[in-house]
A = this chain, B = another copy of it.
Amino acid sequence: MSEVKRGYVRPLDLKHGRVDMTHGSGGRAMVQLISELFTRHLGNAYLGQGNDGAVLPAAVLNGKPARLVMSTDCHVVSPLFFPGGDIGCLSVHGTLNDVAVMGATPLYLAAGFILEEGFALAELACIVESMARAAHAAGVPVVTGDTKVVERGKGDGIFITTTGVGVLPDGLELGGARVRPGDVVLVSGSMGDHGVAIMSQRENLSFEASIESDTAALHGLIAQLLATGADIRCLRDPTRGGLASTLNEIAGQSGVGMMLHEKAIPIKPVVAAACEFLGLDPLYVANEGKLIVICAAADAPRLLATLRAHPLGVDAAVIGEVMADEHHFVQLTTAFGGRRIVDWLAGDQLPRIC
């Protein structure tokens, strides 16, 4: 079954080879996969320790022990490669962003891979390289990992679960329960790009202008927002379920209502057209590199300016206000002067979007 002999190991065939069950067995084939693929691309001093876990420095900020933030995200996106990204960089960005929206500086990532027997090693290599580039660009190393293989037909190519750990400065408290009537709701850019990019790829649609996923790491942008000292109540990245589901969740946690203004919500014309065609509401479509900022009204102008000064926030906008509402409704004033309730996503608009 294995081509591995004591003293001589044939290198992985990264061009034509495929994942087989031995790559998950705990034996030499697994060690080879890890060293020739995972460690080769993701390698760093922590991952190189080669033990069951990574030993990491104490988590301090300004010389003092800092609170930790921990977040985990399973990535099952289909297709694995899409305009603007792939499951590899997505699995880095998604988890980094979940740590960063808590106000924390992400420090470390762990990555767990569930591979399907028969998955092309060439695709796996592309994905791991993409993870490595994203982790390197973000300055956050993958310090530990695990690889399992399941039989053909018991998985779907590759699933990646990433877990992030970061440090949170003293005194900083962000969260869905801190929003108050009178606060202002901003977004960092156009809504729906990621989900529409995936759906277009999946449905094999082409539009006049290409639609790319917005997948990106937001912690740099978030650091600049926090550095302003503005009174930020809550940050969120509106992924699955989109803007609508995320705002409903926050409204429920804080016991408030919200009024959004349809005309103010940035949506690219090509995304709006694609949504029309696909029967999607862009407010429910996933984003992977966008930020919701809810802040005290007085601080909205300078946060908007800070967002717009950053490459990931050039299309930022104020999109609505928080108000008292015992029903915790999120409402929308439409372009025609009407008003409608923007409810939770009830069914499943977009499966396996991230």
A: which residues have CB within 8 A of B? 1-2, 4, 6, 20-22, 24-31, 49-60, 64-76, 97-99, 101-102, 104, 108, 110-114, 143-151, 153-156, 159, 161, 163-166, 168, 174-177, 236-237, 239-242, 245, 249, 253, 286, 343-352
Contact = CB atoms under 8 A, between A and B. Distances in A.
Nearest to A344: B28
A241 B147 CA distance: 13
Contact of A22 (B68, B168, B348): B348
A344 to B, nearest CB: 4
A70 B151 contact: no
Contacts of A55: 67-69, 102, 104, 168
Looking at chain A's contact residues, is the secondary structure mostly helix, strand, loop, or mixed?
A: mixed
Contact of A345 (B26, B68, B110): B26
Q: Which 9 A-B pairs have the closest CB atoms?
A: A26-B240, A26-B241, A27-B345, A53-B71, A58-B65, A163-B163, A161-B161, A72-B110, A1-B347
Nearest to A4: B346
B163 A347 contact: no
Contacts of A146: 72-74, 161
Given A114-B76, A345-B27, A351-B151, A68 B52 contact: no
Given A51-B176, A55-B168, 8 more contacts: A4-B344, A26-B241, A51-B102, A53-B164, A56-B69, A57-B68, A154-B156, A165-B165
Count of this chain's copies in the oligomeric assembly: 2
A58 B59 CA distance: 7
Nearest to A6: B343
Contacts of A65: 58-60, 64-65
A26 to B, nearest CB: 3
Contact of A67 (B57, B67, B161): B57
Nearest to A52: B98
Nearest to A151: B351
B148 A102 contact: no
Contacts of A176: 50-51
Contact of A25 (B58, B150, B161, B350): B350
A34 to B, nearest CB: 11
A163 B72 contact: yes
Contacts of A147: 74
A54 B236 CA distance: 14
A24 to B, nearest CB: 7
Contacts of A29: 346-348
Nearest to A94: B146
Nearest to A65: B58
Contacts of A345: 25-28
Given A110-B72, A114-B74, A26 B148 contact: no
